[in-house]
A and B are shown apart, each in its own frame.
With several copies, the nearest count.
Chain A
């Protein structure tokens, strides 16, 4: 084990982590638990811990070799490996070859940087795993310390103090009355020709003329346009009525064409 100084760090003591693989000393047992790792970083951390050195002094080359060996053997045992384990294996193989290259042929980023990055990630994961273990080991409420079993409870009864004033009250009543009062529709005074006057006008005009006449010719001449509309409607109904009574006949050659009207002599 590495020489340690008097500051905290993130290495694992051998007995402080009961995670997967801790008891698996035989390779075989380890492989069968490959599923148990949460991804390649997890497996790498476990392997790193087996080097039993401070994570900051770990041999990345050795770690890479161990990882690649495991993956190879897992493949030999025909264990199905998740893709990310294989991706990591390929990347580590690349890292290894780069680390072994002569210095002047090194690519960018440098293999040292890549190795350091991996190391830093392992340190951080280890730190959090350690922190989690320490957190779980605290005196936890409901497990180690207990709250009162049967608290009486504090009840706060909210009592409403209702507010309303005179005006609001009276206004509300006014609104109810206004809303529910019977509605009266005022119809504006309009110039109209009643059906009765149209009937007498049309029938008297038919009496003096036996030729076909267009309905329009029965309307009062020079009438106000509004009266004219009313007269047209009334005269049309009057014409229908006269036809029904057998006093007139109607003819229209085309839709919307002029409506022709002729009296029938009794």
Chain B
């Protein structure tokens, strides 16, 4: 690697030393107000094929090891918490539907959500309360955090696997909306939702 310019070196050193992902703004403040966006882009490019990469997750940047080297590093490091099936489902529902209330989560899952399930996700730092829905009862609504994006390697929520397809297929809309639409389209005869046809999802 060639010697980068001083700003790039400073951004590189700052992000290397940081214990948490940093936003461009935070880096800029740390470096006395320098404009760092170009330096970040340059660094990301320089590290693109190396054993460590510079990545942006939810507007925050950090260095991490390259994903293809996971097998070398994984070993003695099973620190990642194992989520229950219920917790993974709730997390997915929050991520794909946010902001979402507990009742909405439950209506999708068809079961009550144990109090502990959301707590686990909040304790992990992946989900937080973002306010209340202005409907009767003013239920609390939940959304994901920047830490969620960091952990799952998502630049933004747009990177959620399959979210565009799910949205296009209407699968992120409430049942009521889809029902009204389908009844209209199919004349209520066959009860067959002819919205978008699809093929098998390839979840690996």
Contacts and interface: CB of A to CB of B under 8 A. Distances in A.
When A and B assemble into the complex, do they touch directly, with CB atoms less than 8 Å apart?
yes
Interface of A: 4-13, 16-17, 19, 38-42, 54, 56-57, 60, 84, 110, 112-113, 115-117, 119-121, 123-125, 127-166, 168-181
A74 B173 CA distance: 35
Interface of B: 13-14, 16-20, 30, 62-67, 70, 72-83, 85-89, 91-93, 95-96, 108-111, 120, 123-124, 126, 150-154, 160-163, 165-166, 169, 171-175, 178-180, 182-183, 187-193, 196-204
Given A153-B18, A159-B79, A172 B165 contact: no
Given A7-B198, A10-B201, A160-B81, A168 B88 contact: yes
Contact of A9 (B74, B83, B151, B197): B197
B88 A5 contact: no
A159 B77 contact: yes
B161 A138 contact: yes
14 contacts: A7-B165, A56-B192, A120-B179, A133-B88, A135-B88, A135-B91, A135-B152, A145-B66, A145-B153, A150-B62, A155-B74, A156-B75, A170-B92, A173-B171
A139 B70 contact: yes
B193 A144 contact: no
Contact of B161 (A135, A162, A164): A135
B162 A172 contact: no
Contact of A110 (B178, B188, B200): B188
A7 B153 contact: no
Contacts of A146: 13, 16-17, 64-65, 73, 77
B19 A140 contact: no
B58 to A, nearest CB: 12
A150 B70 contact: no
Contact of B162 (A129, A134, A141): A134
Contacts of A117: 175, 179
A128 B92 contact: yes
A262 to B, nearest CB: 54
Most chain B C-beta atoms within 10 Å of own C-beta, residue among A5, A117, A149, A158? A149
A8 B108 contact: no
Given A6-B199, A133-B203, A153-B18, A145 B65 contact: yes
Contact of A170 (B111, B171, B183, B192): B171
B127 to A, nearest CB: 11
A150 B19 contact: yes
A140 B120 contact: no
A131 to B, nearest CB: 4
Contacts of B78: 143, 158-161
Contact of A173 (B76, B89, B153): B89
